[in-house]
Amino acid sequence: MSSLLFSNERPVRDFDLSVEVLFERAESSAGILFREVGDDFLHDATFYQFEWYTDGSHHPKRLSLMRKNPYWIQLVTPRSPSATYDRWYVYRIRAAGDHLQSWLDGELQFDVHDVTFVREGRIALHCFMPREVKFRNFTLTRL
C-alpha cells in the first residue's frame, strides 16, 4: 500500500517546495502530494501528485503529474526517464493559483494550468507499497 508523511505546516495553497529523493533499488516510487484534502487516501482524499515510478510491477517507468478527484487523472503525458539507484534527485514543485510546475534536478518537466484544486491543502511525501526510498532536505516556501 501507500506510505504518506504529511508536513507539520498548516495547509498551504501557493508554494515552492523542493526535496531530495533517493531510490535504493528497482521497483521504487516516490512523489509529492499537494493541496490534499480528505481523511482517507484511497477513498475520499483529493489532491495533486508529482510522482516518479522506476520500472516495476505496479506501473511501468513513468514521471507524471496527476490529480485524484476521486479517480486518477493525468494532467500531462507522462515521461519515462530511467532512474539511477543510490543517487539523490531533487524534486521541485511550484503551485501558484492554477499554475502548476514541476522540476527534476533543475530541469522543468511539467508546466500546466488546472483549476480543479485552487485551494489550501496539506502536503505529503509519498511512496507506494512501500518501496526503499529516502527523502532529505525538505524545503517549503509559501508564496
Total domains present in the chain: 1
Quote the domain boundaries for residue 100: 2-142
**CATH number of the domain enclosing 62:** 2.60.120.560
pLDDT in tens, 40-51: 777 789 999 999
Q: Provide the pLDDT for residue 120.
A: 96
DSSP letters for 90-115: EEEEEEETTEEEEEETTEEEEEEE--
Alpha helix stretches (DSSP H) within 4-137: none
Task: Kindly give, in sequence order, each residue whose CB lies less than 8 Å from that of residue 8, ignoring residues fewer than 6 positions away.
Answer: none
Say what the pLDDT of residue 54 is.
Answer: 81
Confidence at residue 86, expressed as pLDDT on a 0 to 100 scale: 81
pLDDT attached to residue 1: 44
Quote the pLDDT of residue 107: 96
Q: What is the CA radius of gyration of the chain?
A: 14
d(CA 69, CA 57): 24
What is residue 53's predicted lDDT score, i.e. its pLDDT? 84
Low-confidence ranges of the chain (pLDDT < 50): 1
